[in-house]
A and B are shown apart, each in its own frame.
Chain A
Amino acid sequence: MIDILLLLAPPVHWLFSDGHSTIWYFLVANALVTVSLFGLWMTRDTDEEVTR
C-alpha cells in the first residue's frame, strides 16, 4: 500500500512537480519500493511448499 501511495498518488506527484526535486522524487521513491520488496521477502509466509 505504501508502495502504491509513493508512486501512484497524484498529490505526491504534485508535491514534487517542479525543479530538481522531480528527479530525486523518482529516484528515492523507486529505491524505497525496491527495498520494500526485500522486506516482503523477509516477512513472506514460508509455510508454502515441499520439494521432493
Chain B
Amino acid sequence: MNMVIGYGAILLFTVLVVVVMSRGRRVDKSMSEYATGGRSFSSWFGTMAFLNTWLAGTMFISFAGLTASAGAIGFYSLSYSLLSVVLMFFLGTPVNKWGRIHDLRTQADLLGLRYNSRSVRVIAALIGVLASIPWVVLGMQSLGLVFSTLSFGQVSPYVAVVIGVLFIAARQIWTVKLGTRGLIISDMVQGIFAYGVGFLVILGLLVWLVTNGHGFNEISPSLLQLPGPGSAAGPFYLFSLIFTGMMGAWCWPDLFVRMFSVKTPKTVQKSAVQAAPIMFLFSAALTTVCLLATSIPSVSEAPDTVWFILAGIGGAGMVAIAGVCVVAATMGNVGANLQAVGTQLANDVIGVRNHERIESAKGAKIAVAAITLISASAALLMANQVSGLIVVAFVSYQAICQLAPTLLLGIFWRRGTAVAANSAMISGILVAAVLELMYPSPLSIPWLGGLTSGVAGLIVNLAVYLAVSLAKPAPATEQARVDALFEGLKKNEPVSEGALT
C-alpha cells in the first residue's frame, strides 16, 4: 500500500505537469522560438525557470548529504547561489538586449557574436555540451534513490535506478515537443511544488527537530568548523568552492538561455530580485534542517538519505511528498539541460560546420531527442557505477567554469579578442584538467593553500585572456564593430508585448 502511495504521488504529479504544459502549448516553428520560448515570459516565469534550473533535485540528496556529513560548510552552496543571482542582475541588460537585437538563441551564439569568431563559438558550445552531459546522466540516476525509497523496500536499488532513468527519459517527450516554452511553463508548476511545498515540509521538520531534542546545541562541534589557516583542506578551500560555483553558474548553457526567454532586461533583473529571497529562505532552511538532523544516529550512517529519513517522521504520505519534491526539482534541471545541450549542438556545432544558420526547430528537436537517448543509455549502462560518474561530474564543473573569463569579460569589457578567448579557454581547461588528475580527492591543492583545480585554471585562464588581449589588440575594424555592439546597449529598443504576462 505504501508503494502505491509513493509511486501514485509521482504519477499524479507528472500528469499534472504534462497537462499544464500541453494547455500552454504553441507551435514553435522557428529555431529561435523553440530555443527561447519566443522571448515572451514575465518575471515570475523567469524567476521560477531560474530556480528550477539551478536548484536541482540533488539539493535534497547530495547537497543535503554533504551538510549531514560535513556540517556547516554545506552552507557554501547558498553563498555561491546568491552571488550568481547578483551576477544575473548585472548580466540581464547586455545578454537579454543582445539576444533580442541579434536574435541569439544560445550562450555560444552570444559568444560567436561578441568575438565574431566561429572557433570561439564552437569551442564554447563543445565545452558546454561535454560538461553538461555527465550532470544529465547523474540527474537521471539520482532519481533511483527516490524510486527506491518510495517503494518502501519492494524494489532493489538497481531496479529503482532503471525505473528512474526510464521515467525521466519518458518525461522528455514533452521537452522535445514543446521546447523552451514548455519547459518554462512546467518550471512554474515544478518550482511551486519543489520549493514551495518543499519549504513547508522543511519548516515542519525544523519545528519537530527543535522540539524533540535536536536543537543547535546538539550539533557536534566538529561539524561547526570551517577550513582556515592550518586546516587539512587549506585556508583558501572555502573561497575556492564559493568562487568556482559563482563563476561557473552562468557558464552552464541551460541557465544562461533563461535570460533570453524573458521579455526585457528589466524582466531579467526583476526575476533575479524575486529569486533571491526564495533561494535564501529555501536553501538556508534546508541546510539548517540537515545540520540539526546530524544528531539523529541514522543520519550519520547514511547522510545522502537525510531528506527521506526526516520525511519518514511524518509517515508514508510525507515520504511521498518529499519524493515528489525531488522529482519536481530534477525534472526542471534535466529537462533544461537536455534542451539547451541539444539546441546548442544543432545551432552552434552542426549549423556552424555546415555554414548555415538553422531556422527550423526540427534540427534542434532531433538533437534534443538524440542527447536524451544517449544520456539515458549511459545512465542505464552505468547504473552500478554512480561514484565514478560523480568524479567525471566534478571534473566537468572545473571545466565549465573555464568559460567564465571569455563569457563575463566578453560581456563587460570591450577589448577582449577572439584569439585571447580561445587561448584562455584552452589553457584554463588544460591546467584545471592536469591539476584535477593530480589532486582528485580532496579537491584542494595543498601547495596552493587549498585552491581547487578549477580556480587554479581560472587564474591562468584570466592571465592569458588579459595578456593576449592587451598584447595583440583587435584590428581597428573589429574594434569598431565591438564598440558598436556595446553602444547598441545604450539605445532604447522597442520590445514586443509577450504572450504570457
Q: Residues of A at under 8 Å CB distance from B?
A: 3-4, 7-10, 13-14, 16-20, 22-23, 26-27, 29-31, 33-34, 36-38, 40-41, 44, 47-52
Contacts and interface: CB of A to CB of B under 8 A. Distances in A.
Contact of A4 (B83, B89, B272): B83
Contacts of A41: 89, 269-270, 273
B79 A49 contact: no
Given A4-B83, A34-B277, A37-B276, A52 B496 contact: yes
B82 A48 contact: no
A20 B229 CA distance: 19
22 contacts: A8-B83, A8-B239, A13-B238, A14-B229, A17-B227, A18-B224, A22-B75, A26-B72, A26-B75, A27-B284, A30-B82, A30-B280, A33-B83, A34-B277, A37-B85, A40-B269, A48-B264, A48-B266, A49-B265, A49-B495, A50-B494, A51-B495
B9 interface: no
Nearest to B281: A34
CB-CB nearest 5 A-B residue pairs: A26-B75, A17-B226, A22-B72, A14-B228, A17-B228
Given A37-B85, A48-B93, A23 B288 contact: yes
Among A29, A44, A49, A52, the most chain B Cβ lie within 10 Å of the Cβ of A49
Interface string B77-113: 0111011011001000100000000000000000000
Q: How large is the interface on B (under 10, 10 to 19, 20 to 34, 35 or more residues)?
A: 35 or more
A25 to B, nearest CB: 8
Interface in B263-315: 264-266, 269-270, 272-273, 276-277, 279-280, 284, 287-288, 291
Given A10-B239, A13-B239, A48-B266, A37 B226 contact: no
Contacts of B288: 23, 27
Contacts of A49: 264-266, 492-493, 495
A28 B227 CA distance: 19
Among B228, B270, B291, the most chain A Cβ lie within 10 Å of the Cβ of B228
Contacts of A40: 86, 89, 269, 273
Contacts of A50: 492-495
Contacts of B269: 40-41, 44
Nearest to B223: A22
Nearest to A22: B72
Contacts of B284: 26-27, 30
Nearest to A51: B495
A37 B280 CA distance: 12
B235 interface: yes
Contacts of B83: 3-4, 7-8, 33
Contacts of A29: 79
A34 B265 contact: no
